[in-house]
Structure 1
Amino acid sequence: MSNRRSALQSDPAATSEAPPSSSRGATREQVDTAVRSGLLSGKFIPGKSVTIRGLATELGVSPMPVREVLQRLAAENALEVKPNGRVQVPDMTPERFDEILTARLLLEPELAVLSLPHLTRNDAKDLQIIDDNIDERLTSGDAEAYMRLNHDFHFRIYGASKSSVLLPLIDSLWLQFAPFMRTVYGRVGTAILEDRHKEAIRAIEQQDKDGLRAAIAADISDGMGLLGRDILSSS
């Protein structure tokens, strides 16, 4: 992006014209992808604010698409805009945590079951590769990589549903809890983390609805549920 910006600045004719709408749309999509990725991997920390201009500078874009993306994410409760115009990840409270956890337990096991008829043994093999990489990151203590791969694992399953209702809701929930869980992993490390991914993979191979539903529910309860509640109760 930096090369493109330099070229525009060196060409008076280019700077006097607004970029095509398709270019603005592409930039907004790139910003959206970058910010969502940052939220999901824990690069944005609860309580630590950023400015629109600062984030735009970091991403190498103008403030306008950044403002649009942040406003959209604020509407999803993933971010909040402070009265001074700064933007931050909302602080996690026990009440908010319990609501997000309850919503995940209600929605994600059911979406996994909806996805099951569309998942094949090849998908199970791909999920196994992702899970092997997750195991490596748990051992090495790379929390950000673990979070990215864990998201990839779950949404490889959920995405097969092609749901236009449940999938966006679950995506929004992940944006809301991921930054908090990154602080949790920063305190307790990753070596103690356990998941139910292998049970989920086996259920997919066997087309076992009940098994997949139980594996996803247990993965959420044993992962986010136990660790998150322990940290909140000790704060």
Structure 2
Amino acid sequence: MLVSEGRQPCESVKHWVHRTLRHALMTGRFQPGEPVTINGLAEMLAVSAMPVREALQYLVADGALELLDNRRVRVPEMVPEKFDEILAARIALETVAAERALPQMDFLRLARLQHLDSLVDAAYDAGDIERGIVANFDFHRCIYEVHSSGVLLPMIESLWLRLGPFMRHAAENHWQSYKVDRHAEALDAIRDRNAEALKTAITADIQDGIGHLGRAQFLDTAARTF
């Protein structure tokens, strides 16, 4: 079920609808392959069709949704080749963003990161996958926004947007098999001002986090076809 994000003071309906749908996709409130309709979303959000139509156009352009031949819109399915490409792009962009941010990281930012990491752990310990996904994205964003908010961060968030539905599905099925906390290694690297260690930790977090969960999901799907 789509739960709307609170509309901010002075925020236009158009911007609010787009932000709400982006957040819903990023946190996996839509499933891979799920169709979406303008009228259905407009009814759920209690708005007219126009801002929904415009938001869907932006999300199709971002690759978060796909337009089918019959002009219907759906959440794209994830396939291994696309998954590997997105992960490679995440690693390339996020390690650069982390390295750029490191010289400007202060003790307040480090404390914020420690808090966000504790929220990730608490969410998954409670079985709240969506809250864990949100806190994980917030952890990474808290690093990258220090020195890469203008170009790199929007590019990174577009990759998170494409992964969101599949990530949620994979995490719900396989989270218990993933126990490695790479955030702790990233925090240690930030304390030590060690750029190479931070890049290694970010790479491992992506590969051993969503990479592990995604591969497990693909193996499950393949096993059902054998």
TM-score normalised by the chain length of structure 1:
0.85
Aligned to 2:47: 61
Q: Following TM superposition, by how much is the alpha carbon of 1:202 offset from its aligned partner in structure 2, in angstroms?
A: 1.8
In 2, distance between residues paired with 1:142 and 1:153?
Answer: 17
Q: Report if the CA contact (8 A) 2:98-2:198 is conserved.
A: yes
Question: Structure 1 residue aligned with 2:32, among 29, 46, 51?
Answer: 46
How many equivalent pairs are there? 213
Aligned to 1:27: 13
Q: Following TM superposition, by how much is the alpha carbon of 1:193 offset from its aligned partner in structure 2, in angstroms?
A: 4.2
Q: Following TM superposition, by how much is the alpha carbon of 1:162 offset from its aligned partner in structure 2, in angstroms?
A: 3.3
Residue 124 (1) aligns with residue 147 (2): no
Aligned to 1:145: 131
Q: Report if the CA contact (8 A) 2:178-2:213 is conserved.
A: no
Residue 220 (1) aligns with residue 206 (2): yes
Q: Report if the CA contact (8 A) 2:174-2:217 is conserved.
A: no
Q: Tell me which amino acid in the other structure corresponds to 1:48.
A: E
Among all aligned residue pairs of Structure 1 and Structure 2, give the percentage whose two residues are the same amino acid: 44
Q: Following TM superposition, by how much is the alpha carbon of 1:25 offset from its aligned partner in structure 2, in angstroms?
A: 7.0
Mapping for residues 89-104 of structure 1, pairs under 5 Å: 89-104=75-90
Aligned to 1:107: 93
Q: Tell me which amino acid in the other structure corresponds to 1:44.
A: F
Q: Following TM superposition, by how much is the alpha carbon of 1:190 offset from its aligned partner in structure 2, in angstroms?
A: 4.7
Q: Tell me which amino acid in the other structure corresponds to 1:232.
A: F
TM-score normalised by the chain length of structure 2:
0.88
Structure (1 or 2) with the larger CA radius of gyration: 1
Q: Tell me which amino acid in the other structure corresponds to 1:192.
A: Y
In 2, distance between residues paired with 1:193 and 1:144?
Answer: 18
In 1, distance between residues paired with 2:27 and 2:220?
Answer: 24
Gaps of 5+ in 1: 1-22
Q: Tell me which amino acid in the other structure corresponds to 1:229.
A: R
Q: Report if the CA contact (8 A) 1:56-1:62 is conserved.
A: yes
Aligned to 1:231: 217
In 2, distance between residues paired with 1:53 and 1:190?
Answer: 38
In 2, distance between residues paired with 1:214 and 1:175?
Answer: 23
Q: Residue 56 of structure 2 aligns to a residue in which SS? A: helix
